[in-house]
Structure 1
Amino acid sequence: MELNNTKGTWQYNLFTTVKENMAVSRSREEFVKNMNALGYKVKWDDSHKYITFTTPDGHIRRNNKLYPVEDFTKDALQRRFDVNKSNFDKGIKIDSNKNETKDISKLDKEMIFVEKLISEDKGNRAINYITRGDKTSAKLITGINCSPESALNEMMLTKKMFNKNEGRQFIHFVHSFHDHEDISPELAHEISLKLIEQERFKGFEILAATHTDEDHLHTHFILNTVNSETGMKWQQSIKEVKALIEFSNRLCEEYGLKYSYSNKKKKSYNKSETLGERKAKEEGRSWKQELQLAAKSVLKHSTSKEEFIKNMNQLGYAVKWDSTDDRVTFITSNGRPCRNTSLYPPKIFSKDAMEKRFSINKQFENSKQEFRHEVQMQAMQDIILETINKLSHNPSLGNSNYPFSYLEGQALKEKMKEKEKGEGLDWDR
């Protein structure tokens, strides 16, 4: 799950922008023009050894500070431009080296644009951009400690109230998902909002908007740098950035995501792991996701709490459903506890929601039984009508072994019983 402005912040944005443009430019002039179009200034003088880049928000960096250095020297860049021109003349399409880099750069372009607006004190335009109707929708826009409709006014009022109108006004960052991730925009938005539930974001006004206009879903955040409760300015260390990435990875695991981890090292198998646990890891699944799938499947077919618990027990899960506790606790076969509030979506695993589902399942089961009974009765009626029809057209078949003959015999027996009781007497006798 990429936190794109944390992988080097402005330095990383500069690196990816230079790398992308050197991959498609056919001359120094075209390269400088492309960089300028993205808000970057490029000082490339023949009298100077180095090229100097200035970012949209005023940061300065020479080409000898980009890594690997040998790829960004004047000679290396010029050689790349010559290759691009030669390929273009031959009709070979110029493209980035790797699709992954190109995809990242697409998002970086958008980030650079928003950063540029913020650096130019155009917070209103930045907010308008991330909430554009062609990129997101109302249900994918959320205000934290502010209303989405009046977020900018509320943020500016906070600054005025604490007399902190100087310096950086807003912080912008993006939380993105891999394009292979099979999740809905609503779920992506929910996970991104979980990211800012940490204590460090408490009291800050934040506008979040999840974009769906690219293959990879991603959420933009614009944060007011002045805390609405304390008046303190936003600060974040590199250590806190790393902790945020780790928290993002934990969210990936909790929600059963497969591809959106960031800088996560592969772990070797533990000798005590079962074959099922290893398979789950290989397929990107977690024990919590396995529990979630099992509970969801059992919930669909259980008609009572007792039946639900019994079915879960058969799958190897213990269930603690205490009337004195609002929560239900599931325990895996290897002793891992998990509360119903940690399963997704939590609203279908609440006690009330599960009880309602049991009731619906019960009604459905009763309806199925009634339907089967009606089908059986209808089949019998069809047989009777068919028999009557045949006998009416061919009375000679009256002694044949038709169902109607059996029914007539049953009626005769009932009539004889009635006579034994006596005409007009009480049947209860």
Structure 2
Amino acid sequence: MAITKIHAVKVRLGDAINYIENPDKTDGQELISGYNTAPQTAVLDFSITAAMARKARNTSAKKQGNLAYHLIQSFSPDDAVTPELAHKLGRKLAMEFTDGKFEFVVATHINKDSIHNHIIINAVSFYDYKKLRTVPYRTAQQIRSISDRLCMESQLSVIKNPQQLGQLYPTYIQKKRTTSNRTEVRKKLNFCLERATNYAQFLQMAQELGISVCQRGKHMTYLPEGAGRAIRDTSLADTDKFTYTGLMERLEDNAAEQLFIRERIAKIFPSVSTFTDFIKQLQSEGVKARVKKQTGQLLYKAADLDGTWVPADALGDGFALAGLESAIKSKSGILDTNHSTSIAELYQDLTTNYPKSCDTSVRLTSRQICSAGKRGVLLQIHDSSGNPAKLMIDNSHIHTTPDGSVSADIGAAFSYDITYDDGTRGTIRGTDLIRQIDEENLTQPLSVSLTANQIMAMSLRGVTVHLPQYHIERLFIPERYVQRNVEQGSCAISLYPGWQYSYVPIGSEKTRKSISGAELAQSLGGVVQVGTSESSLARRVTNVERRAGIANAKELGKILSGMADSGLHFAADFDKQINTYHRKEMNLRNRIADLHAKNKTYAAVAHSLQVCKTYKSVWMAYVSQPQPYKETYYKENEAVLQTYSRAASQLDGMGISLGTEPEKVRQLVTETEGRIADLIAELEKVRKSNRAIQEDKEKVEQIQGS
């Protein structure tokens, strides 16, 4: 397997590229290649893209931030990897990580025992002029996951027996209980960085959240309240986000973004009549707004500045949801800029406490495991629409149980990156992944009988459980996991031990929480014998079953009528329609992928046209030079002339006139993006129709069976 690292390049980009292109380390530069750039002119190409992005977004060079990102992929000496294969894997890694929207240079070094790739990626996209966004640790994990999967697909460091992975369960459990305070420190610092606009304000906010900030030499240190040791800035992120330089850049950006948003809101607010009208007018001014469902928090984003989401409370009480609605209702036209709530109270109210470790262990079988390597396992799974995809599970979350089976610890609340066969990426929720694996492996659920006082409501949709002694106000179990017995007057539910069940807690706090199936079964008291005291429950069961019978008849009639209209006569006939929808999905996915590929070509053409337009005068001056002076002029302007020549050659090879306006091609990129969005919406409709007909098939089979 390969080890991967990434760090930002903030200054001296030329030095970084010269280092990785060293002929002594790259077989005379034979193992160097570029994407949408020539390695020899990459510095100039990167700067041209950044300049075009600044022009498109109307920002200054002072705000450009990172110049590039330097990614290192180092292969194990034990791997049978050739320089050519290593270079190929490096290009695949860069292409997949950037989605082909950023220029990059790949150089494979063979001067050491371990072959390794150096990849320099432009920090700005030539495709849409957006910055390459990185998230501490998550970006590094994403890169590592892509690299591990590519290595395993190339049969590097593959283990024949997956049971050699991980560690024994008791050892793993002990390790799993040990957590670091870095996660909490990072959360608090990010909370401050979403709001602060200057260094003094950031220090004050951090202090209120229990973190002492100190600058020692070139490093920042962060000391959590009650901790004995401070944390260095570079150990909190895989970029320079929490260094002094990174902090100051983010704070400057925050100040500009907040000023921009305030000005736009002040401009439109006098004419706003409703909150919906406010959102609509604000979007026309280049500011997006959305409300987080979990907390009701209002967020703003200055699209033209390519900024991050700014919480409304950072602007003042009047810019939050309640303040806006009050001001609109009173028609005062004035928004309160005061901050009545402390940062500590805001953090308590708005921060979601995610689990610090993967909470559910699921058994893996040959149904899921494609291959196993030293760094983890590659799983074959399906997304929510049934499309096949691959998922890499890190070795730290794989362990062997005492009976010799392989298990994976998965966080129900986590989101996992998946990769489709065509190279595109998606995500799957941990809870969906757990359910999929359990159902594929035919894991047996626990059957738990319910008492009358545990049932809040019973309907054709399912059963709502009420457990006040465990602070559970209501917890819903879908009908497919409910078994009612009319003769015995009983109701039972199937609970999977490893699944997480969402519930509304008792009290003023209405944020949903979760409980595992094993804990829920224990809370319900296990299997309960139904006696005479359950007569009320028996009546409810009988009533629901009677209603279910009527509903089934109506539903069956409705479905049969639809079947007749569609030429479907048996439950098996649904398969034909389902296959048709699958083909439509595949066709739409292919069309979307084709348009994405074409649009990247259009964006590259627009970039080349802009290069030719910018440096045409230099080229014409070179051409017009008398022969004795040509060589001198070329040496003085070598990078520019090479860049122009390469761009012109590419355009000529594609049959595109050098006089074509770049903006016309850029407009084509925008129009194609609109077509892609339409196809994505159509794809979602087809998926919904496919899910609906699959549900109809299940209902027919269930009704026919009963």
TM-score normalised by the chain length of structure 2: 0.22
Normalized per residue, the structure richer in helix is 1
Instruction: Using CA pairs under 8 Å that are at least 6 residues apart, name the structure with larger relative contact order, 1 or 2.
Output: 1
| Higher strand residue share | 2
Q: TM-score, normalised by structure 1?
A: 0.35
